[in-house]
Amino acid sequence: MKVIRTKTYEEMSYEAAKLLAAQIVLRPDCVLGLATGSTPIGTYDQLVKWYEEGNLDFSAVRSVNLDEYCGLDGENDQSYRYFMDHHLFNRVNIDKANTNVPNGKAVDPEAEGARYDELIASLGGVDIQVLGIGYDGHIGFNEPGPAFIKPTHMVELDPSTIEANARFFASADDVPRQAITMGMGGIMQARKILLIANGAGKKDILMKSLYGPITPEVPASLLQLHPDLTVICAVDE
Ligand code: GLP
């Protein structure tokens, strides 16, 4: 595990973008595992800047996103598909047909999970997976629980996650109660993992995840076992 502590959100975003850009330059048709939430926005902005300056080419890049809310389609401005289009895909020369987000409107979430895992396998796996972290240690939408769940699956969101994500909705009542998320298996199979965290409020859960016991009660703690984990964080006051 490599930990890079930065002083500011901007610096964290710059360092994270550097790793992703290096991956794209190294393998132009790489598979990026992408995340949503407020944390990666600056990273995506930096990638867009390099693209606009002519230094980064997304034309052959493929992507898979971690998760999606159940019941929301890509037109809904709270969906993660919309988030990705808005913050990254519409702003660079990526082929939208090569971008993948779980289908939140799937009638059979189990079949959708199986489809998504097969899709990731057919792409040859994820080269670098970006992760944020929830205040309860969730990654993607893998919530604390009695066991790590390996495949892409549907989850009931934790009340604390619903509350934390309510800031993006008109009210907590509007936050979907369920989501489809890549499982811990898919995440751990990525060849590289890049975990980013911002804000002093994330420090405790980050320390617990990286240095505490490995337990499904803290899903991110499993990352300790990944052979190529880079953590970039701006969590000091
Ligand atoms: C959501 C997403 C996670 C993300 C988390 C933290 O629950 N499913 O992938 O890491 O929010 O979000 P933020 O970066 O806004 O703190």
Q: What is the DSSP string of 58-76?
A: -TT-EEEESEEETT--TTS
pLDDT in tens, 70-98: 999 999 999 999 999 999 999 999 999 99
CA max distance for the chain: 48
Report the nearest atom of ligand 1 relative to the CA of 35: 9
72-77, Cβ contacts within 8 angstroms, sequence gap of 24 or more = 72/104, 72/105, 72/176, 73/104, 73/105, 74/101
- The reported pLDDT for the residue numbered 237 is 76
Query: Span 162-182, mean pLDDT?
Result: 94
CA 162 from centroid of its chain's CA atoms: 17
Decide if pLDDT at 188 tops 80.
Answer: yes
Asked if 83 and 39 touch (Cβ cutoff 8 Å), the reply is no
Average pLDDT of the chain, as a whole number? 97
| CATH for the stretch 2-234 | 3.40.50.1360
Mean pLDDT of 34-55: 98
- Which residue puts its alpha carbon closest to atom 3 of ligand 1? 140
Question: What phi and psi, each to the nearest 5 degrees, are found at residue 225?
Answer: -90, -5
Probe ligand 1: pick from 34, 39, 154, max atoms within 8 Å of CB? 39
For the cut 80, the answer to whether the pLDDT of residue 210 exceeds it is: yes
Average pLDDT over residues 46-51: 98
pTM above 0.85, yes or no: yes
Contact 140 CB / ligand 1 (< 6 Å) = yes
Say if residue 13's pLDDT is above 90.
yes
